[in-house]
Chain A
């Protein structure tokens, strides 16, 4: 069953079309990812879905409730972790959660138990009486996820949950997010602009300039881009080439003394390949498709790093700074 339905959604700000006629559906209990560069319209879409913004035209519904007309029912059914932190840093972790529990009208006798449960789940129970301003970026993110779960929402929105985190906390957070649908019985709608993070999603929509330009499972999308590229150098390229081609039934090419082939799961191909050609291997490297490759493939242009204006960079830095403090 689809828990989120979006049909021909359009949002204009003056003459900017932030969301340009998008449609999609999300299955209950899955992780759906919105992948796209800065300014693609991801946050705008989330704001419409969570009733904070009225669309210019089009339809959106969550759990059968219209996001515009039945905003109160929609709000009860969703939890959100916004792109920028929305915690009160002058309150403790537990106080932030209690505040939320009251806002969502949770029965007083269940409140403490629910708060303790989610705190344990995000591994912050020991720190529950610390002021949030003492927390690291990763801890704040986890606390926000915990807060979003207290009222047992049907859908949890995560807007760029890993932005501004160090690589280690990022990995931890993703492992944690991957467990959510099963453990908490929620559907996840998340956004990111990192291809590798979209790996945990069941389905991904790639969005650029307000338009969805591709949608599918991570594997499908990778196939569309051509998958991973494995580069290999051997002592005898000619014979190795033949044996690898026979092994995978794939074409192997050669460039500057190096063999290369495109396959869906590069990391599992490599061990098999090495077993086959054995002693002859000199070096192996794996190149994963990036958002850049997907973009290049789908739009004919590289992802617009250079178009990020100075103001955006400053905003990002201010956000990252706030998150650390």
Chain B
């Protein structure tokens, strides 16, 4: 593995992220809108005696959404790099395909985790307190989900070659992944078919892990759906599998 190459691929993404104010702005505005408009609206429909207030319940899901969008966006930029030629500069360098994939996955991880951290800092508005340990736990989980989703995004980018496919990816992969992830409603309350969909969605386990950290004592319908060990195992295994598939896909390309 070439660490200099991995470093510079990440540094490039970070630089672009900092420079693109609109990307940063919408990354912060979108979750706030969801939290205060959707969350505040729906919390009136849901009776307060089910445990965690709804606006707090969807908070892990909002973090998951931020990570999902930003990681996929970061990885899908490979399609742009291909379209505008820059990918060739990377492919023709003496750098292993594994390093390129890891560099790209870490790029998504860094920008997504930064955004998740910003959202997390804004949370006191919705009325709960996290200890420093919980804060660190959430950030670590966010970083690992980001890595897994970014690696998944690289796989998508190698399958969808043109930027016309961007809206296909958004509408048919990213949005369903968000809605079927336990972000808006507990997985255990979903109808059978949707529950199966949620169970094969890696994001579900990431959000579930955050629920474990944020609501450690919750036992009602709003409680986490899987054991913490399952969550962590799924995140780690999917990360490795996606990195492996992406590496294979890159090798096929030359």
Contacts and interface: CB of A to CB of B under 8 A. Distances in A.
Contacts of B19: 90
Contacts of A100: 89, 93
Contacts, number: 70
Nearest to B88: A86
Contacts of A54: 254
Given A91-B15, A99-B12, A105-B5, A52 B91 contact: yes
Interface in B70-109: 84-96
Given A103-B93, A103-B95, A52 B15 contact: no
A207 B90 CA distance: 29
A52 B85 CA distance: 13
Interface stretch (A2-10, A76-84, A222-230, A231-239): A76-84
A99 B16 contact: no
B254 A105 contact: no
Contacts of A86: 85-89
Given A52-B254, A88-B12, A103 B90 contact: yes
B2 interface: yes
A76 B96 CA distance: 12
Interface in A270-325: 322
Contacts of B87: 86
B53 to A, nearest CB: 43
B8 interface: yes
A188 B190 CA distance: 64
A87 B86 contact: yes
A133 B93 CA distance: 23
A102 B85 contact: no
Nearest to A80: B92
Nearest to B100: A103
Interface size class of B (residues with CB under 8 A): 20 to 34
A104 B95 CA distance: 8
A102 B86 contact: no
A95 B88 CA distance: 17
B85 A84 contact: yes
Nearest to A99: B8
Given A75-B93, A90-B19, A103 B5 contact: yes
Interface string B99-143: 000000000000000000000000000000000000000000000
B4 interface: yes
A82 B4 contact: no
B7 interface: yes
Contacts of A51: 92, 254
B8 to A, nearest CB: 3
Contacts of B91: 52
A100 B95 CA distance: 11
B92 A102 contact: no
B88 A75 contact: no
Nearest to B20: A90
Contact of A105 (B4, B11, B85, B86): B4
Contacts of A322: 84
A300 B87 CA distance: 41
Contact of B94 (A52, A72, A90): A72
A52 B92 contact: yes
A190 interface: no
Contact of A91 (B4, B12, B254): B12
Given A90-B19, A91-B15, A102 B88 contact: no
Interface of B: 2, 4-5, 7-8, 11-12, 15-16, 19, 84-96, 254
Given A51-B92, A82-B88, 6 more contacts: A54-B254, A75-B93, A76-B94, A91-B12, A103-B4, A103-B8
13 contacts: A51-B92, A52-B91, A72-B96, A73-B94, A82-B85, A85-B85, A86-B89, A87-B89, A88-B84, A91-B12, A102-B11, A103-B5, A103-B95
